[in-house]
Chains A and B, each alone.
Chain A
Amino acid sequence: MVSKFDLIIVGTGFASIFFLKKYLEKAPKHSRILILERGQFYSHKQRLKSKTTTADEVAELDVLSSGSEAILNSNKKKPWVFEPNFGGGSNTWTGCTPRFMPNDFKINTTYGVGIDWPISYDDLEPYYTETELLMSISGPDITPFPKSAPYPLPAHKLGTIDLLLNKQYGDKYISQPSARASKGIGTRNACCTSSVCQTCPVNAKFTIENAFSEMMKDERIQLEYGAKAFSMSIENGTARSILYKQNNKIVEAQGEVIALGANPIFNAHILLNSGDTNPLTGAGLSEQVGKYVWFYFNNLDNLGGGSVISGNGYMFYDGEHRKEYAACLIENHNLPYIRNEFGKWRQIAKFKFIFEDLPQNKNRVITSQNNDMPEIIYSGHSKYAQKGVDNLEFNINKYFSFLPIDRIEIDPHLQSTEAHILGTTRMSWSADNGVIDKNMIHHQYRNVFVLGGGAFPSLSPANPTLTLSALSLMAADKSF
């Protein structure tokens, strides 16, 4: 017998759970909600226990490995990183939560490149505020993006280098807004800069587990683990049911509404397996491009920064240069690095420069012979992003030369991944230039939501989690 539900949600990461949060506020008491999680539940306690050996810090110097065997990816130089268990990326993220800038939503109108979003910054602003409240974000009073309410928690402390940059550039260099709590709140302790955020030793960062465990006990919810959704049954343009594999059996569940909240690779794959013929479904797979730079200072110690990434720089993020090359967000990585020279131990800083990319249709998710396994075709980032990288040295000289710099080392390599997966089911005004509408509803299948960072028509260099979570709140709020 096929079970029937009012809502079926695929996935338990940010996109799904923020959508669920708003839906539960609005849904009747007798609603039935099925949630399909392809992995298992591993508690923070279990994850901590597995960290008995030293943190893998060397890997950070080179390549962040994906370790994912759930996708077919022939491009070994380009891993796509995700956490396929309850809570998804919230278990392993660093907790960086800058908002996008207003011009990120109208990059084509403003700068003549990329694609505008069908929503504006102002449309999303109330949901940004709500998401920041739910995540208890720590952040500064003054930001380069407009805000209607202060951050729930105070900003993390700026270090010495950050303070000099803040003094020079004002609201274009701020304490990073983050989901790493600056003060203990709820079940979370205050961040104390242990610098291993992937599994926080003191449970300071927001996770689905530490924020929404109570909500998940709602009697309307049925949560299935080990349930790998792979397709939907479509009739006359309406999704009738979802098909998933569990315990080596194919199970079908009917849903009035289906919300795909897996990561953008799997969301696109489910749509393609369901017969979605929109040529843009799966297209535009992308993420930002990151590069590390080491600064060695003369008689200036890098001390006193709070949290693992202490500052965000916006000096060459938004502006006329975006007509020519990619926006860049700067991060000051406040790990206990040293300079291996007597008396100059901490006269060093490591910054990461993160460039936006423009999604390209040639980079895409396709189906494979195995309906469990999406296949990735990825040939590289755009020339626009590369031009941003090429201008890095010029911009470093322009914006950092007031500091007492001894020497600068720009990593010759780009980071292989920023651990974001974006742009496979882009948001648009019509099906001619995207897959979903401004409320994240599929242009053809009007009872299907496609959530998450796949919706981004243009990427922005900013970390995507806050924005995709706010989008989920907005989608559910506008639709129910």
Chain B
Amino acid sequence: MALPMTRRRFIWLVLLFVITVFTSLYLFKDFNDVVKSIIKNDTNKLRVHDETIAQFIAEAAKEKKWDQFNFQKKAFIKFCYYFNNPIFPLPFTSKYIQYRSFIVRNFLLSTDFFIHKMDVESQIRYIGLHNPYSRPCSNPFSNIYYNANAIIDGQG
């Protein structure tokens, strides 16, 4: 049995339609645009040229880096990027933060930022898409680059 169309129900349906269209527009945006926005936003206090980000985006696309995220994950990231906020956090925010960190991590690992020991004053340069097989031993936080004992002693 069809429900009678009341004024209130009509307004809800219109609202739902608008939200669906609005959301879909975002979900079908190019994932690379979202990646670019995330990186720009999360590194805005670092000295990064737009060209550096563009180089990374282009090489990541060429190497199909983001194929590691399936359609649902990409949609999830896009949705969270546009609609998550600290006042009304969406469910699974911690997973979104992990994915977002994954994107930024891959960008920064593809630059000389960590090699320069996170020096915020240095201009960041692109050194090539991070891939441990083309650049082994490149974990910039390992004992090759840092002496943990000295750090602890220094802090102590």
Residues of A within 8 A of B (CB): 48, 51-59, 61, 156-160, 162-164, 192-196, 201-202, 294, 300-306, 334-340, 342-343, 345-346, 409
Contact = CB atoms under 8 A, between A and B. Distances in A.
Contact of A305 (B65, B95, B138, B141): B141
Contact of B101 (A156, A158, A163, A340): A340
Nearest to B155: A300
Most interface-central of B45, B65, B118, B148 (chain A CB within 10 A) = B148
Contact of A157 (B64, B148, B152): B148
A59 B68 contact: yes
A201 B143 contact: no
A266 to B, nearest CB: 31
B102 A193 contact: no
Interface stretch (B13-21, B25-33, B80-88, B127-135): B127-135
Given A55-B132, A195-B132, A340-B101, A160 B144 contact: no
A345 B118 contact: yes
B132 A303 contact: no
Contacts of B148: 157-160, 162-163, 303-305
Contact of A304 (B98, B129, B146): B146
Contact of B136 (A61, A194, A306): A194
Interface in B18-46: 42, 45-46
Given A305-B142, A343-B120, A345-B114, 16 more contacts: A52-B133, A53-B131, A58-B68, A61-B95, A157-B143, A158-B148, A164-B152, A194-B132, A194-B138, A201-B133, A202-B136, A294-B98, A303-B151, A304-B149, A305-B141, A345-B108
Interface of B: 42, 45-46, 63-65, 68-69, 73, 94-95, 97-102, 104-105, 108-109, 114, 118, 120, 129-133, 136-149, 151-152, 155
A302 B101 contact: no
A43 B52 CA distance: 38
Contacts of B99: 58, 61
Nearest to B94: A409
Q: List 3 A-B pairs, minimum CB-CB distance, nearest first.
A: A304-B148, A192-B137, A193-B142
A305 B143 contact: yes
Most interface-central of A162, A193, A342 (chain B CB within 10 A) = A193
A193 B152 contact: no
A304 to B, nearest CB: 3
Nearest to B69: A58
A337 B73 CA distance: 19
B139 A55 contact: no
18 contacts: A53-B64, A55-B133, A58-B102, A158-B148, A159-B143, A193-B137, A193-B143, A193-B144, A195-B139, A202-B137, A304-B145, A304-B147, A334-B139, A340-B42, A342-B45, A342-B46, A345-B108, A345-B114
Contact of A196 (B94, B95, B132): B132
Contacts of B151: 160, 301, 303-304
A338 B63 CA distance: 22
A192 B65 contact: no
B86 to A, nearest CB: 13
A61 B105 CA distance: 14
A301 B120 CA distance: 16
A136 to B, nearest CB: 19
Contacts of A294: 94, 98
A336 B152 contact: no
Given A163-B149, A163-B152, A340-B104, A55 B97 contact: no
A157 B146 CA distance: 10
A58 B66 CA distance: 9
Given A159-B148, A337-B101, A338-B108, A56 B142 contact: no
Contacts of A346: 118, 141
B102 to A, nearest CB: 7
Contacts of B95: 61
A201 B136 contact: yes
B149 to A, nearest CB: 7
Contacts of A305: 141-143, 148
B65 A54 contact: yes
A467 B31 CA distance: 47
A33 B151 CA distance: 55
A337 B105 contact: yes
Contacts of A61: 95, 98-99, 102
Contacts of A164: 152
Given A157-B148, A342-B45, A336 B97 contact: no
Contacts of B139: 192-195, 334-336
Contacts of A51: 133
Contacts of A343: 120
